[in-house]
Amino acid sequence: MALDVLEPQSSDEQLHKVNRALSSGMFVHVRQMLHQMACADVALLLESSPIRTRLVLWQMVDHDQQGEILEELPEDVKDALISQMSAESLAAATAGMDTDDLAYILRSLPDSVYQQVLVSMDSQDRARVEQALSYPDDTAGSLMNTDTVTIRPDVSVDVILRYLRLRGELPEATDTLYVVDKQDVLLGGLAITTLLTCDPNITIKKLMNRELEAIGVDMEDTKVSQLFERHDWISAPVVDDKGKLLGRITIDDVVDVIREDAEHSMLSMAGMEDDVDTFGPVFKSTLRRTLWLTVNLFAALLAASVSNMFEGTLEQFATIAILMTIVPSMGGVAGNQTLALVIRGLALGHISDSNARWLVGKELAIGFLNGLIWALLIYAVVWIWKDDSALALLISGAMLVNLTIAGLAGAAIPLLLKKLNIDPALAGGMALTTITDVVGLFAFLGLATLVLL
């Protein structure tokens, strides 16, 4: 019988089914469904669920699946789940993990739990992990796994073939065996495809690729990803400064670096951190966005103070003209933060019909909270600067309205555009800025006209 062909909708449907079962309280059924799903799909489900649902689901996941699922999750989500787990279940979950993921998880644990997990490992694993923990984040060392298969140069292919058959299973994404000397210094590589196609009597020395390029353990992870992209590598050996083989980096970890770097650029341009969790709690999300809005308020005030220098030109009610750019500007920045998150969520396939409504509601709530914070602040600034409490009240009212609308529009616009088959990344920003400009000016100037005239 032919194999099933993967349908692009399949993961959306799975998500729907689990959510339906969950909301009708069929927990046994949910547990069964989770058990049958691939770990990567469970990870996607967790990542696409609101924070409370996520914790409920996590309780139902098989314990021996937890480790692999944790490996697939982004940092923010991973941290939240780990903080809910006991030391014993953590130790159990991390048992079969890759060194690099294990090191990451250990780094983020409180000291007492960390020690407990370490104690529960066998001594070889412990040594491996302690080594991995010694490499700084964002270097080749932190991306590396130690599961290399090494061979000696002076044996024949036939010997290697028999050795591999004795050894059994090879580590995932093994495309090259590494040839090393007695001091573990890397001499070359042997593609396993070569092993399959060559004459079994040749010695490794004659066959091995001496041009194999090795990565220094201190290389920046971004550089590593550039090399992988440029040379189409599946895996690459990592060596210390004496050429000693320490481990290997595989393409799946590099893909994560490429994705993270690219997202980092996009989210950073909107003033967001890149490990941010689209489905995390509202208060945390609001706080995370304040830095950029603070910086923008200073920038907007700087612009206003430039206009202020020309007060003579602007004449009567000049103050209104001077202040009128502040509210639209803050709305633009706040809305763009939401927009960048939602566009990323759509690109990663995290947002579907089942959670879109929830997400818009969340962003609206963040917008309103943001509005309250910045209304208070701008009230204080304008009152002190212009000594006019009516004007200060006015601008803070406009700020509240505009930031709330900005949150709503930032989430709703890309979802709407997607439905209409228009590229949200292209049209979203401009549609958003137009809305925040128009609403901001209307609210401020409209209130001013009502109150002051």
Give me 149's structure tokens: 């298969």
Q: Which of residues 71-90 bind a second copy (CB under 8 A)?
A: 72
Q: Which of 309, 384, 387, 421 forms a contact with a second copy (CB under 8 A)?
A: 309
Q: Which of residues 374-413 bind a second copy (CB under 8 A)?
A: none
**Where does this chain touch a second copy (CB under 8 A) — which range of 363-371, 374-382, 395-403, 435-443?**
435-443
Q: Which of 75, 125, 175, 388 forms a contact with a second copy (CB under 8 A)?
A: 175
Contact partners, residue 101, CB within 8 Å, separation at least 6: 70, 71
Nearest 5°: CA angle at 231, between 229 and 232?
65
Give me 48's structure tokens: 């696409």
Q: Which of 210, 384, 387, 421 forms a contact with a second copy (CB under 8 A)?
A: 210
**Where does this chain touch a second copy (CB under 8 A) — which range of 15-23, 157-165, 373-381, 398-406?**
157-165
Question: With respect to a second copy, which residue has the nearer C-beta, 4 or 122?
Answer: 4
Based on the shown chain and the rule CB under 8 A, indicate whether residue 313 belongs to the binding site for a second copy.
yes
Based on the shown chain and the rule CB under 8 A, indicate whether residue 92 belongs to the binding site for a second copy.
no
Q: Which of residues 10-69 bind a second copy (CB under 8 A)?
A: 38, 40-41, 43-44
Q: Is the dihedral of CA 420, 423, 427, 433 positive or negative?
A: positive
**Where does this chain touch a second copy (CB under 8 A) — which range of 80-88, 225-233, 361-369, 398-406?**
225-233
Q: Which of residues 185-204 bind a second copy (CB under 8 A)?
A: 185-188, 192-193, 195-199
Question: With respect to a second copy, which residue has the nearer C-beta, 133 or 212?
Answer: 212
**Distance between CA 75 and CA 70 in Å, rounded?**
9
Based on the shown chain and the rule CB under 8 A, indicate whether residue 261 belongs to the binding site for a second copy.
yes
**Where does this chain touch a second copy (CB under 8 A) — which range of 29-37, 290-298, 374-382, 394-402?**
290-298
**Where does this chain touch a second copy (CB under 8 A) — which range of 106-114, 120-128, 345-353, 400-408?**
345-353
CA 66 to chain centroid, in Å, comes to 19
**Distance between CA 373 and CA 111 in Å, rounded?**
36
Q: Which of 120, 290, 307, 352 forms a contact with a second copy (CB under 8 A)?
A: 307
Residue with tokens 């803070």: 396
Q: How far is the CB of 16 from a second copy (least distance, A)?
A: 17
Based on the shown chain and the rule CB under 8 A, indicate whether residue 312 belongs to the binding site for a second copy.
yes
DSSP string, 300-369: HHHHHHHHHTTHHHH-TTHHHHHHTTHHHHHHHHHHHHHHHHHHHHHHTT---HHHHHHHHHHHHHHHHH
Contact 408, 367 (CB under 8 A): yes
Based on the shown chain and the rule CB under 8 A, indicate whether residue 430 belongs to the binding site for a second copy.
yes
Based on the shown chain and the rule CB under 8 A, indicate whether residue 345 belongs to the binding site for a second copy.
no
**Distance between CA 334 and CA 332 in Å, rounded?**
6
Contact partners, residue 345, CB within 8 Å, separation at least 6: 278, 351, 359
**What's 155's DSSP letter?**
S
Contact partners, residue 185, CB within 8 Å, separation at least 6: 242, 243, 244, 245
Q: Which of 55, 121, 282, 438 forms a contact with a second copy (CB under 8 A)?
A: 438
**Distance between CA 412 and CA 403 in Å, rounded?**
14
